[in-house]
Structure 1
Amino acid sequence: MNKETAKSEIKKLIQKYETVKTDGRINDYKEEMTKKDFILPLFRALGWDVENSNEVSAEDSISGGRVDYSFKLGGIVKFFVEAKPLKADLNNSEYIKQAINYSWHKGVQWAVLTDFEGLKLYNAEWKEDFDKAKALNLTCTDYIADFDSLWLLSKESILSGQLDKWSEKFGKKTKKQPVSKQILDDLLKAREKLTKNIQKYPRLNKISETELDEAIQRMLDRLIFIRTCEDRGIEQNHLLSAVRNKKQSLGDELKKIFRDFDDGYNSKLFEPHLCEKLTIDNDVLEEIILSLYQTQDGNIHYDFGAINADVLGSIYEQYLGHILKKTSATAKLKETHQHRKEQGIYYTPIYIVDYIVKNTVGEILKTAKPKTVQKIKILDPACGSGSFLIRAFDELVKYWAGELGGVRKPEILQNNIYGVDLDKQAVEITQMNLLLKTLYTRERLPMLKNIRCGNSLIDDPKIAGNKAFKWEEEFPFIRHSEAKPKNPACHSERSEEPRSEESQNGFDIIIGNPPYVQSRNITDDKERDFYWKKYLTDTNHSDIFSFFIQKAIILLKNNGYLGFILPNTWLQLPSFLSTRKFILDNCVIEKIVTFDSNIKVFQDAVVEPLIMVVRKLAKKKHTIFHEKYFSPDELPKQINKIPQDSFKKFYTFDVSLNTEKYKIISKVLNLSSQLPQIVKIVGGLRTGDDKKYLRNSKQNNDDRKLLRGRNIGRYSYVWNGEWVWYRPDLMKKRQCAAPKDAQLFEVPEKLLMRMITGKQIISTYDNNQFYLLQDNILLPKEKNYNIKYVLAILNSTLLNFFIKSISSNIAITQSMLKQLPIRKINFSKLPEKKLHDDLVLLAQKMLDLNKQLQKFGDKITDERKRLESEIQKTDNQIDEMVYKLYGLTEEEIRTIEGQ
């Protein structure tokens, strides 16, 4: 809706309000009528789809301080609206406090308080008194007179970030810490104080470091659970009462509360535990308990009933990323980036969790019948604090609300939700977060046996100890068939290969954010060897996330969905070829979602991620949708459609490869032989000790002229006077040396190819018997083909288009060279032979022109400009001839050159 239309609709609402006022019916309008007749229509006029719960939804009443509506974009709440009846006094401090505090506890910046007669906008982050936190104060007559201010709350304005830009006019305001940061700080301080205090009594508290961590974790989890019960109105203020009424030991008072909660909720969280036996000073326990009611300065009172699972999950993910550094004198918590990287602890933003769940769980729920939904099994194999499982739980609750008007939430936790994590504390946190989702009355809670601690990838106790996880034993409904992938792994020595699940046993949906740990960072040799033998890899430079992909596909049922957020590096790198092959042999890829460069998904990680959604399904023809996020506030936009068959050509995932590009590549391949059929591909020499064998002047008869990759250009090379002391007999004594045979270098003619090119083929011709260090050499093989014909094709725009389609690697490796298509020539057909010969002549012309150009060095002269123009003209002629050679149309050429 545009501004003029919006104005017109809002004028009608104002006229309607004036009529109600004139008729003396203001007092008749209760809150629900006001919302229905005025407030929702007002926001509808501002462009919001108020009937779409994905955009505007009523807030659940889980806390006495709830507001009425959340307004969302891309699954992220942008502001809350607290609605009041027409007769309300918007200056009531309780109304204002409720709106601001609720928004802050939810981690949302903006809060709107309105009865339509007036509208106030507050910034919940400003550390000001309520009146100074007010950013807008409009009456309904201002809606037209000051329409631009009202328009700041329009969907269009929120999408474009206008409200945030406008708020900058207030200057820099002191901000409250976000609720997640504030509570995180409190938890970390509590953990540190408890550790220090427990260690103060070594004779009374005889426990190991691991036991200490677990005891403190359990204590804090219990306190948060109790505070949540209190703020949701389920329980009285037990903890404050214990502090105020303690007679001797606050620890004993807490023990009574824990036993009461164990009886009432029957949760593992409150069963007798080591944390109850520890000696802790009263003043320390009191300080920690009080810190869960309000901040130290008393300015903020916490409402755990309003803190949702997303905020709590964010707090706990960061909490898990801290290492407890202990000494005999002190205990300090320290967060290290390296620890988080090693453990794969990166909190996934809620909009990504939401997208993955909607495109996996949501897809199955679209068509599934209730009996099927009752049996759905959803797994996160690296569940962390449980954010993906919590969102999946919400999706199932939403389904049952529509089908049967609701279902007992504990049944969903027991029947549908599964999680595994290597970190015992993460498992406990996930269990608590899930239990809080079912907590509305004092009743017995389910024992969450489906959330387990273990190593999802390793089932051998010799490697993983008590963390070894045998899936069939832990979850007996899993039964693997003996079927293997259609294409076995490239390692013939592998003792066991991943097996594809062919039966209907397994999980329906697997979702999550697996750890990103490169194999070279795995310090345990036995663990690394286990991965090498158990999973498909191509080099030693693999990553644990690729093993999670393989394991997830094995654990999936047929037709099951897998949705992971992963690094984007693996789409084309050779080290992940077997993983890509395994995916394509067993699944269809539904979606690959990338992110615009302006989006930083993980705030403390350099990794650039993508979302992949696959389905375990055998299907001959399938189209992959490539989508892209341009803003976290909007759903991703479709970029292109990719035939899955195109990925099978080279087992690389090129998300830019649409149908048009795929047709071109298929056409080129059908007319071609692969490069090794025309020439012999070999690597240059490796001395094993460059300091010893490389020199800047000739010193004896064994010295040979040497080129490096950086000396090679397109149709040219520059020798900088470097020599190699070529003594293969001595070089071979070095383990990493590869001196090669002298005949390879001293052939009458050969092509030289630079390896590190930045994704562009750079090749030249050599008939001066240069030796080459490490980069690639192409030797004549098929006698009918002139090697300069191959040179012209390699340096053409078409072949560069091709190489970029099969790899994003900056290095042109031999494995990539072997896939390059060289047009076959039928030499008995004169037109084809002429094209071959003409390309040879043009390649020679390019060599001659570039040789002449080198004489000018850096000098800018008219002759140099003439030569450069002639080189460009000849290069274009080669491209035109290559296009003709491969039979490409004008439209196909435009696609190639517009790459």
Structure 2
Amino acid sequence: MSDDTSKATARTRIATLVEGFRRNEADYLKASYNETQARTDFITPLLEAFGWDVHNSVGHPPGLREVVEEATVDVGDERLSKKPDYELRLARQRKLFVEAKKPRVPIARNRDAAFQTRRYGYSASLPISVLTNFHQLAVYDCIPRPEQTDEAHVARLLLVGYDEFDVRFDELWALLSRAAVYSGDFDRRLAVDVTRHGTEQFDGFFLQQVRSWRERLAADIHARTPGLSPHELTYAVQIFLSRIVFLRICEDREIERYENLRSLPGTGTFDALMAELRRADTFYNSGLFHLLDDARLGIRIGDDVLGSIIAELYYPQSPYTFAVVETEVLGEIYEQFLGEVIIVKAGAVQIVSKPEVREAGGVVPTPRYVVDTIVQRTIGPALAGRTPADLTTFTVADICCGSGIFLLSAYDFLLDYYLAWYVADGAARHAGSVIYEGPGGQWRLLFEEKRRILLAHIRGVDIDANAVEVARFSLLLKLIEGETGEALRDYVASRRRPSLPALDTVLRPGNSLVSAAEWVAVRGAMPTALLEKVNPLTWSDEFPTEMARGGFDTIVGNPPYIRIQTMMAYSPEEATYYQDAESPYRTARQDNFDKYALFIERAFTLLRPCGRLGVIVPHKFMTIQSGRALRELIAGSRGLEQVVHFGVQQVFGRQASNYTCLLVLDRRGCDVVQVERVEVLVAWRYGMLGEVTTIPVTELGADAWQFAGTATRDLFARIRGACLAELGQ
């Protein structure tokens, strides 16, 4: 259907709704006509007219539903943590919140409704949110920080009565229609970056908060426990903050009692918190809280510092609600601090960038839409057609996992796959054992099955123990996403074990590129001073079951882009090891190389013979001399299946300038390589493929790779066919 036809159809459907409301307006404005009825009769049909698949008629798995509806309404005057009534998404990416009210609510002047709508959008860093009772529709700018005392007109971009829907249709279409989002018009109009958001309201505010909390905690802990090393101090601060934030998030998700932390006494706050953490440890377990009781560290925090931090996690000092903050966003924010270390210099606490991060230009998270694409194209074919019984030993790993964003995406993908399989196999057969029917007839995985999937399939490694801790924090939050306190308590009571699993055996700290034995074979015994810095990891020790089976089934990730010159500046011993003729890395045996090549080479050795690899890396290796060894490695494997070439498109948006590509490889080998060139990133982001060319894998070798379009390739083929010799012959 063309855009003009879609608009005309939408206009006609909306006109019908408007006429139906006008005929019985007096009845719809009565107090007895409630919000649920308004949603059923008018608001849901309005969204459908704008092209949104509210009822998931195409049968997408939960993660790909275009509209997520919230059924419950339990918000009080002070609570303000309920979720919005509609969440509009495209390609797993949030675009709009729509908050519904009954027609009798005067949304043109209702401050509470306006504040609630703006707070949702601000917390999710969305550019706009919508408030409607169909009688009127308001669009709010969600960039300004919302205040509960704001009048309803503050930050309001549009206020349209139902009788104006026709004359102002084009304005509404540009902001509310699925077509506007899919085409990229929505993003362009509202200056949405090609990363996750157009604005970073919550991200920026919470980032500043966490930075302040870290500084204050570090100074207070050091003053009370001055003997801690920089590593211990950094780790203690992160652990402490993670636990407090975890419990605060659980309050907004209705797992913990709301304001539980806020109600701690002003005197003896630290001791009261410790008692609360011990209670939480009994209920959640998984090692989330045990380090705070480590008598060796002897950590204590002053009541004033602790009390002020807890207070800042609640309104009005915090304008957001964790009820709508995605787990991935929290991981991205925490990831910013993985590039920092807390040190003590001249008796004063300082937070400084790690040298390798400083040299590399800082921490830049991978955009979620890129992560999801890599996961789908790498893991999807490995799962296709397989039953849960077939997947008993299936594993997906990220060997440089950072905050865990690839692992979160992989976990989401697996949850969707399992749920779709159980429903397709006959929901009634699996009901009560692995799935249950939720509100609106939607099938969901039982908590125990989600827990099993996490432990069975997800694996991660990072050289930074703090990164591993953040990844664990993120995955556990993802596990309890959508759960209630009652459901978790029932699980604990029935299974007689804590609700959350220990992830110590599936997430491990260590250097994916260096094992102790490899170092000894090349350089001799590792000096003690280097042990903490290099942090060697032996794969057969850390993942014995997986290595005994031949490795992981899939590996995904965004390996670090660090040139040899940068490595020499912060870790010359490690760089020298890589370049040694006896090292396991062919891609490092030259004057110039990049660390991402080593991760690709290592990944090959960690995959099973039928394994698959998906990464995002700079595409310059395809043509430059220093990329020859990596080209030879990939071409020699005959496993390159897909290349997504972004050309000059900046997938990291305004945060960094990198010219990148996606590589998907299959160790079983491929006959052809599918090369996709992306010219319009905003369209590709929502599922529109770029120009695709297929070339024989045998055409790739150590020489420069040139992925010309079909027309150009045909032209050169005709030229070669017509010429008897080449220049130089």
TM-score of the aligned structures, taking structure 2 as reference length: 0.80
CA distance in 1, matches of 2:707, 2:69: 39
CA separation of 1:162 and 1:605: change in aligned 2, threshold 3 A: closer
Query: Is the 2:618–2:660 contact (alpha carbons within 8 Å) kept by the matching residues of 1?
Result: yes
1:286 aligns with 2:307: yes
Instruction: Provide the residue aligned with 2:639 in structure 1.
Output: 588
- Which of the numbers 587, 592, 597 marks the counterpart of 2:648? 597
CA separation of 1:319 and 1:539: change in aligned 2, threshold 3 A: same
Give the residue type in structure 1 aligned to 2:560: P
Q: Residue deviations 1:78-103, cap 9 Å, x none? A: 21112344555535444333322222
CA separation of 1:669 and 1:99: change in aligned 2, threshold 3 A: same
Q: Residue deviations 1:573-603, cap 9 Å, x none? A: 2322232222233343332223363535154
Query: Is the 2:620–2:627 contact (alpha carbons within 8 Å) kept by the matching residues of 1?
Result: no
Instruction: Provide the residue aligned with 1:784 in structure 2.
Output: none
Instruction: Provide the residue aligned with 1:147 in structure 2.
Output: 169
Instruction: Provide the residue aligned with 2:75 in structure 1.
Output: none
Query: Is the 1:343–1:515 contact (alpha carbons within 8 Å) kept by the matching residues of 2?
Result: no
Q: Residue deviations 1:419-472, cap 9 Å, x none? A: 000111110010011111122334521000201100011112645636211112
CA distance in 2, matches of 1:107, 1:219: 26
CA distance in 2, matches of 1:322, 1:474: 26
Deviation at 1:561, TM superposition (A): 2.4
1:417 aligns with 2:483: no
Query: Is the 2:222–2:228 contact (alpha carbons within 8 Å) kept by the matching residues of 1?
Result: no
Query: Is the 1:354–1:391 contact (alpha carbons within 8 Å) kept by the matching residues of 2?
Result: yes
Give the residue type in structure 1 aligned to 2:630: T
CA distance in 1, matches of 2:50, 2:693: 34
Instruction: Provide the residue aligned with 2:564 in structure 1.
Output: 519
1:358 aligns with 2:376: yes
Instruction: Provide the residue aligned with 1:105 in structure 2.
Output: 123
Instruction: Provide the residue aligned with 2:194 in structure 1.
Output: none
1:631 aligns with 2:681: yes
1:536 aligns with 2:586: yes
Instruction: Provide the residue aligned with 2:274 in structure 1.
Output: 255
CA distance in 2, matches of 1:579, 1:164: 37
Deviation at 1:379, TM superposition (A): 0.5
1:348 aligns with 2:372: no
CA distance in 1, matches of 2:188, 2:691: 29
Secondary structure in 2 aligned to 1:371?
A: helix
Instruction: Provide the residue aligned with 2:68 in structure 1.
Output: 58
Q: Residue deviations 1:385-422, cap 9 Å, x none? A: 11111111111222233233314221122111110001
- Which of the numbers 306, 309, 333 marks the counterpart of 1:315? 333
Instruction: Provide the residue aligned with 1:384 in structure 2.
Output: 402
Give the residue type in structure 2 aligned to 1:104: Y
Instruction: Provide the residue aligned with 1:188 in structure 2.
Output: 211
1:199 aligns with 2:222: yes
Give the residue type in structure 2 aligned to 1:143: F
Instruction: Provide the residue aligned with 1:505 in structure 2.
Output: 550
CA separation of 1:587 and 1:119: change in aligned 2, threshold 3 A: farther
RMSD of aligned alpha carbons: 3.2
Q: Residue deviations 1:268-304, cap 9 Å, x none? A: 121143497223322112122222224xxx3644422
CA separation of 1:631 and 1:287: change in aligned 2, threshold 3 A: same
CA distance in 2, matches of 1:627, 1:61: 42
Q: Residue deviations 1:56-98, cap 9 Å, x none? A: 2205789941113322345432211123445555354443333
Secondary structure in 1 aligned to 2:554?
A: strand
Give the total of aligned pairs. 639
1:229 aligns with 2:250: yes
Deviation at 1:604, TM superposition (A): 3.9
Q: Residue deviations 1:42-69, cap 9 Å, x none? A: 2333244443654622057899411133
CA distance in 2, matches of 1:669, 1:649: 22
Query: Is the 2:52–2:67 contact (alpha carbons within 8 Å) kept by the matching residues of 1?
Result: no
Matches within 5 A, 1:58-207: 58=68, 64-86=81-103, 88-90=105-107, 92-127=110-145, 129=150, 130-152=152-174, 153-159=176-182, 178-201=201-224, 204-207=225-228
Deviation at 1:542, TM superposition (A): 0.9
1:327 aligns with 2:350: no
Q: Residue deviations 1:361-405, cap 9 Å, x none? A: 233344222223443211111111111111111112222332333
Runs of 4+ in 1 over 6 A off after TM superposition: 22-29, 60-63, 164-168, 669-673
Query: Is the 1:591–1:627 contact (alpha carbons within 8 Å) kept by the matching residues of 2?
Result: no
Query: Is the 1:592–1:655 contact (alpha carbons within 8 Å) kept by the matching residues of 2?
Result: no
Query: Is the 2:68–2:86 contact (alpha carbons within 8 Å) kept by the matching residues of 1?
Result: yes
1:16 aligns with 2:20: yes
**Of 79-88 and 304-313, the range deviating more from structure 2:** 79-88
Secondary structure in 2 aligned to 1:522?
A: helix
Instruction: Provide the residue aligned with 1:476 in structure 2.
Output: 544
CA distance in 1, matches of 2:24, 2:640: 57
CA distance in 2, matches of 1:176, 1:479: 43
Query: Is the 1:558–1:616 contact (alpha carbons within 8 Å) kept by the matching residues of 2?
Result: yes
CA separation of 1:301 and 1:636: change in aligned 2, threshold 3 A: same
Deviation at 1:192, TM superposition (A): 1.0
- Which of the numbers 488, 501, 511 marks the counterpart of 1:455? 511
Instruction: Provide the residue aligned with 1:878 in structure 2.
Output: none
CA separation of 1:31 and 1:605: change in aligned 2, threshold 3 A: same
CA separation of 1:590 and 1:60: change in aligned 2, threshold 3 A: farther
**Of 179-188 and 367-376, the range deviating more from structure 2:** 367-376
Instruction: Provide the residue aligned with 1:622 in structure 2.
Output: 672
Query: Is the 2:66–2:90 contact (alpha carbons within 8 Å) kept by the matching residues of 1?
Result: no
Instruction: Provide the residue aligned with 2:706 in structure 1.
Output: 654
Instruction: Provide the residue aligned with 1:567 in structure 2.
Output: 618
Q: Which runs of 5+ in 1 are unaligned?
A: 169-174, 481-503, 674-792, 795-821, 824-899
Matches within 5 A, 1:25-44: 31=35, 34-44=38-48
Give the residue type in structure 1 aligned to 2:467: A
Matches within 5 A, 1:641-790: 641-645=693-697, 647-648=699-700, 651-656=703-708, 658=710, 661=713, 664=716, 668=720
Instruction: Provide the residue aligned with 2:441 in structure 1.
Output: none
1:219 aligns with 2:263: no
CA separation of 1:55 and 1:599: change in aligned 2, threshold 3 A: farther
CA separation of 1:424 and 1:649: change in aligned 2, threshold 3 A: closer
Instruction: Provide the residue aligned with 1:446 in structure 2.
Output: 501
Query: Is the 2:129–2:141 contact (alpha carbons within 8 Å) kept by the matching residues of 1?
Result: yes
Deviation at 1:569, TM superposition (A): 1.2
CA distance in 1, matches of 2:32, 2:420: 32
Query: Is the 2:515–2:536 contact (alpha carbons within 8 Å) kept by the matching residues of 1?
Result: yes
Deviation at 1:9, TM superposition (A): 2.2
CA separation of 1:535 and 1:150: change in aligned 2, threshold 3 A: same
Query: Is the 2:81–2:321 contact (alpha carbons within 8 Å) kept by the matching residues of 1?
Result: no
Query: Percent identity of the aligned residues?
Result: 29
Deviation at 1:546, TM superposition (A): 0.6
1:45 aligns with 2:95: no
Query: Is the 1:567–1:607 contact (alpha carbons within 8 Å) kept by the matching residues of 2?
Result: yes
CA separation of 1:525 and 1:631: change in aligned 2, threshold 3 A: closer
Give the residue type in structure 2 aligned to 1:250: T
Secondary structure in 2 aligned to 1:578?
A: helix
Q: Residue deviations 1:330-349, cap 9 Å, x none? A: 32334589625549732111
CA distance in 1, matches of 2:665, 2:33: 51
Instruction: Provide the residue aligned with 1:838 in structure 2.
Output: none
Secondary structure in 2 aligned to 1:279?
A: coil
Q: Residue deviations 1:315-361, cap 9 Å, x none? A: 11212233435323432334589625549732111111121122222
Query: Is the 1:205–1:279 contact (alpha carbons within 8 Å) kept by the matching residues of 2?
Result: no
Instruction: Provide the residue aligned with 2:262 in structure 1.
Output: 240
Query: Is the 1:385–1:430 contact (alpha carbons within 8 Å) kept by the matching residues of 2?
Result: yes
Deviation at 1:659, TM superposition (A): 7.9
CA distance in 2, matches of 1:270, 1:159: 44
Secondary structure in 1 aligned to 2:261?
A: helix
CA distance in 2, matches of 1:638, 1:167: 24
